[in-house]
A and B are shown apart, each in its own frame.
Chain A
Amino acid sequence: MTATAISAWRKPSVIPGFGLALGFTLAYLSLIVLIPLGGLVLRTVGMGWPQFLAIALDPRTLAALRLSFGASAIAAAVNTVFGLIVAWVLVRYDFPGRKIVDAVVDLPFALPTAVAGIALTAIYAPNGWVGQYASAFGIKIAYTPVGVFIALVFIGLPFVVRTVQPVLEDMDREVEEMAATLGAQRWTTVRRVVLPTLVPALLTGFALAFARAVGEYGSVIFIAGNIPYVSEIAPLLIVIRLTEFNYAAATAVASIMLALSFVLLFAINLLQAWSRRRLSHG
């Protein structure tokens, strides 16, 4: 690529290496992300509409997708609220053991998901530590959609905490003091001054937790019980189809997940861009 060809693509900049960096980025993205996904879409397209619709509208597929996306959305929403509280506590208060709590937040990142799944199952199963009390009230957690939800909350929490925390740390305390001198009580200040400035970070945290939850497999399958139509998640359905050598069905479900995820994440991104623009207006 000649210098003039590059200059047609971008504004002049003193930072060198645009051509190289962009080339590498595109090659890398293609190799790691786009080509595998392209292959997936190609296979799906290859099967033709009637067969695709038959798989897509199969009640078992629909139930699995509904559970995966529904439980993920609820779990991400719950994580957004509690992740914000955890981040708030970690940033705003100094207490003994704060560093330890801070480190514990990252555990769901590091723990092999299967380990998490087995641990959660052990606790929430009807004879487990927590499950026995829940079942005393007639509530079943493990082997139901509630179990799926709990596993997804577990793995999504760090995403919200870690995106909100730095924004909260950078927040200008004078703005809150200002609100107080103007007569705003603490809760009013949080609601009208602090939370609005956190919206972009909260949306990012929600999107990350949601995306992670939709794709989660290891921690869910143990606690879910995997009862078709009830507690069977879409990623598991794909694996089941693969083990049945039903590649067409597997790719079809995968493509639907891909499309849905893309649309949802894109929408969240737009929302985020909008709220960010409102904050840094100019």
Chain B
Amino acid sequence: MNAMTEFADDQSIALGAPVGVTIENVAKDFGDSPALHGVSLDVHAGELVALLGPSGSGKTTLLRILAGLEAPSSGRVLFGGEDTLGLPVQDRNIGFVFQHYALFRHMTVFDNIAFGLTVRRRRDRPASAEIRRRVLHLLDLVQLSGFEKRYPAQLSGGQRQRVALARALAIEPRLLLLDEPFGALDAQVRRDLRRWLREIHDRTGHTTFFVTHDQEEALELADRIVVMSKGRIEQVGSADDIYDRPASPFVFSFIGESSLLPVEITDGTVLVDGAPSGLSFGETGTRPATLGFRPHDVTLVSDDGPAIRGRVVAERRHGARRRLELQVGPKQLRAEIDVEVEASRAIGSLVAFQPERWRIFPA
């Protein structure tokens, strides 16, 4: 799967022209519990977008609304400017891929991929020779040539997911929707399939949404990342945007490793647990806030100056460095910092440090 060099003639994978997608104030309630609170998003044609968030953040619900598998309680979804309200799932022409493949297990690989073509009304249905040509071509694209007579149970997880993708591509979708597509696969296969999906996207140009809770996957694959939490969009942006310029403490803590400490800002000074931390934030007046920093962005400082102080409660090897888990202040707030191996401290000892790079989020 790594030798992804040749795609013979990808122009022949005919496409429904990729469409831009506009999501306007989409909300969804399941009974009493709201799953989405008025979400809005604009995605242009051909974009690869990751919906990233923890479970329960509403990302899968949003994907299912795009597919037409759920109806929004309010709001609109437009494909290329056309309102999809009342457009049944069958007529949306979207390619959907489920985490657990959802292959038709009584059908061969060939019949699985051909399904979307063979269920068309007679006048829209390609001739069987044409169906065969397309299926074999898709099998070639997903590198499963020669597997057409197998049954799903005879394939590995990665192979099944590639069949599922070929099946979704067979109907020439306007939009490709992937729900945790690599969630059920082991690490190595995930990485291969991820790179391979990126290549397929670059060649076929589908507007693609994929749902994931794996930030690494989202950062690596997507043009734009939509970070979601509790039914709301926290931030939309490139990998750099959300990593370097997180819009909220949630995004900061969800993307990458981080420590968050509640602080108070008094006349430009950041107070941690009432004591000056040596950090200043240009603002007058007094207000509470949240300080965020990455464990690898800190330096140890001498104990007599302003600093954040914590007691070491645990330490472990972390790559080339050593990670200390600290208890800060009497409220026993947790923070993690990385130090050089030789600078490591014993459990129970006091450590003074300052973040080199940090962010203040209003509380």
Contact = CB atoms under 8 A, between A and B. Distances in A.
A174 B170 CA distance: 18
B96 to A, nearest CB: 4
Given A179-B115, A192-B119, A280 B153 contact: yes
A281 B105 contact: yes
Given A180-B90, A181-B89, A282 B116 contact: no
Given A181-B96, A184-B115, A196 B106 contact: yes
Contacts of A183: 90-91, 93, 116, 119-120, 171
Contacts of B94: 181
A279 B106 contact: yes
B151 interface: yes
A227 interface: no
A172 B170 CA distance: 22
Given A184-B115, A282-B153, A178 B90 contact: no
B311 interface: no
A182 B115 contact: yes
A113 interface: no
A280 B116 contact: no
B96 A178 contact: yes
B102 A172 contact: yes
Contacts of B95: 181
Highest count of chain B CB atoms <10 Å: which of A172, A181, A185, A278: A181
A197 to B, nearest CB: 6
B340 to A, nearest CB: 50
Nearest to B106: A196
A172 to B, nearest CB: 7
B312 to A, nearest CB: 46
B67 interface: yes
A181 B93 CA distance: 7
B67 A181 contact: yes
Contacts of A282: 151, 153-154
Interface string B314-332: 0000000000000000000
A185 to B, nearest CB: 6
A174 B90 contact: no
B117 to A, nearest CB: 9
A279 B108 CA distance: 10
A47 interface: no
Contact of B153 (A175, A177, A179, A281): A281
A73 B30 CA distance: 46
Contact of A174 (B93, B98, B151): B98
B127 interface: no
Nearest to A173: B102
A246 interface: no
Highest count of chain A CB atoms <10 Å: which of B103, B115, B153: B115
A114 interface: no
A51 interface: no
B119 A184 contact: yes
B102 A175 contact: yes
A177 B90 contact: no
B201 interface: no
Contacts of B154: 281-282
Contacts of B76: none
Interface in B82-97: 89-96
B104 interface: yes
B132 interface: no
B362 to A, nearest CB: 42
B292 to A, nearest CB: 38
B100 interface: yes
B213 interface: no
B363 interface: no
A25 interface: no
Contacts of B59: none
B69 interface: yes
Nearest to B64: A177
A183 B171 CA distance: 8
A29 to B, nearest CB: 33
B106 A197 contact: yes
B167 A182 contact: yes
Nearest to B99: A174
Given A174-B100, A282-B153, 4 more contacts: A177-B98, A179-B119, A192-B115, A281-B105
13 contacts: A175-B104, A177-B89, A178-B98, A181-B69, A181-B89, A182-B170, A182-B171, A183-B91, A183-B119, A185-B119, A281-B152, A281-B153, A282-B153
Task: Please name the 7 residue pairs, one residue from A and one from B, whose CB atoms are nearest each other, closest first.
Answer: A281-B151, A182-B116, A282-B153, A174-B102, A181-B96, A184-B119, A178-B102
